Amino acid sequence: MIDLEVPKKFRPLVAQARGMAEEVFWPISRKYDRAEHEYPAELDLVSAVIDGLSDSGAGQGAGASSSTRAKDDGATEGDVAAVGSGRRAKGERENKNGSNLSSVLSILETCRGDVGLTLSIPRQGLGNAAIAAVATEEQKARYAGKWAAMAITEPEVGSDSGAIRTTAVKDGDEYVINGEKIYVTAGERAELVVVWATLDRSLGKQAIKSFVVRRDNPGMRLVRLEHKLGIRASDTAAFSLEDCRVPAEDLLGDPEIRIEGGFGGAMQTFDNTRPLVAAMALGLTRASLDRTTELLAEAGVVPDPDRPAATQPAAAARLLQMEADYQAAYLLTLRAAWMADNGKPNSMEASMAKAKAGRTCVEVSLACVELAGATGYAETELLEKWARDSKILDIFEGTQQIQLLVIARRLLGYSSRELK
């Protein structure tokens, strides 16, 4: 049985992340929401603290850059001991509480402070998680310490990653990349961009690979920065790639086109990053619930989990229902991260966590604005900002509809060709 208490070795990291959210992010959250596209200079100190934790080993993985895929050793569901407990029954294999779980726990806390600021922390980008998921050991060492963004989405090719049109053509010891990428989180600020491209359009998704492109590559041109509803502290870029030459060694993972399961390497990125995005949604949900609970308590409304919801004020009953939704999303997210740490296929669980957490985040943040009334709608509170920030967490890394499609395919045993 899995014990879903926070492992003892991660508790200092969680406490550090919580302190960062409350003492660093909350005071500057409104400032950088208004100053869209301005780099938050305070994050340089935050980054230095994270680097110190990681170097000392105390951090146990302090962000997306540390999220990685554990080697699958063939363990089955019954082989795994209790998470965090250290207890093992006879015949059970050792359980791993690794960087995926620690990343989820720390990101949840920092996003309780501000999602946009979390996405803007140097060297903690989703591209870093992509590198950790599929890069070779040599590549991981070469890109260590670099800030990587991830470029998947294209004009007219949104949620269907398999329909990517950006091409990569081998030319000697290089690949020549041509295409367009939009909605690249941290695209302007990052040092590297992980670009998804196809080696052969006629082969469909099996030919899609990811390439690490240096931000200063002359073949990759910044077209614009997007003005957005939420996460305004985080820059979101659009790029044009024109005869962009990339060394062959910067193709992540296996360069061969595998007709059977060839897309799996690229898609494994999502198995790592979707639990991280779910954790972001959980952090924002937790912040909204905590602040709304405080505001309602000041008005004399205090929910009692030991009493039937029907016997309590409507606002209290609503809070209890939203707390239950939060806990369900939280447990799904921990499970998906734990499976990655223990080398278990987690594609379905990662999509479940992302779908539930993203939907819960939007519903809870909007409901909290409603429950707080005029206070929730005004800029005197962060509730209205959290409501604006929430929607992206139900969209990027795969929309709600895409997550449900992935889950259905896994449950029913259908391929993407059989169930669209």
Q: Does residue 59 register a pLDDT over 80?
A: no
Domain membership of residue 320 (yes or no) is: yes
Same domain, 268 and 408: yes
The predicted model scores a pTM of 0.90
Same domain, 272 and 237: no
Per-residue pLDDT reduced to its tens digit, 354-380: 999 999 999 999 999 999 999 999 999
Same domain, 311 and 221: no
Q: Which of 180, 188, 397, 418 is catalytic?
A: 397
Domain end: 80, 95, 129, which one? Answer: 129
- Average pLDDT of the chain, as a whole number: 88
Domain end: 81, 103, 129, which one? Answer: 129
pLDDT value at position 178? 98
The β-bridge relationship of strands 174-185 and 236-247 is antiparallel
Please answer whether residues 162 and 203 qualify as being in contact, where contact means their C-beta atoms are separated by less than 8 angstroms.
no
Q: Does residue 139 register a pLDDT over 70?
A: yes
CATH number of the domain encompassing residue 370: 1.20.140.10
Same domain, 407 and 294: yes
Domain membership of residue 3 (yes or no) is: no
| Better pLDDT: 387 or 201 | 387
Please answer whether residues 21 and 108 qualify as being in contact, where contact means their C-beta atoms are separated by less than 8 angstroms.
no
CATH number of the domain encompassing residue 206: 2.40.110.10
Q: Tell me if residue 212 falls in helix, strand or coil.
A: strand
Same domain, 237 and 268: no
Q: How far apart are CA 46 and CA 177, in angstroms?
A: 35
Q: Does residue 78 register a pLDDT over 90?
A: no
Same domain, 93 and 193: no
Domain membership of residue 43 (yes or no) is: yes
Token pair listed for 332? 């799904």
DSSP state of 86: -
Per-residue pLDDT reduced to its tens digit, 15-55: 999 999 999 999 999 999 999 999 999 999 888 877 766 65
Domain count, the chain: 3
Same domain, 17 and 95: yes
What is the domain extent for residue 300?
A: 264-412
Q: Does residue 309 register a pLDDT over 50?
A: yes
Domain membership of residue 121 (yes or no) is: yes
Radius of gyration over every alpha carbon of the chain, rounded to an integer in angstroms:
21
Domain membership of residue 154 (yes or no) is: yes
Q: How far apart are CA 249 and CA 167, in angstroms?
A: 17
- Per the annotation, the verdict on 92 as an active-site residue is no
Same domain, 205 and 229: yes
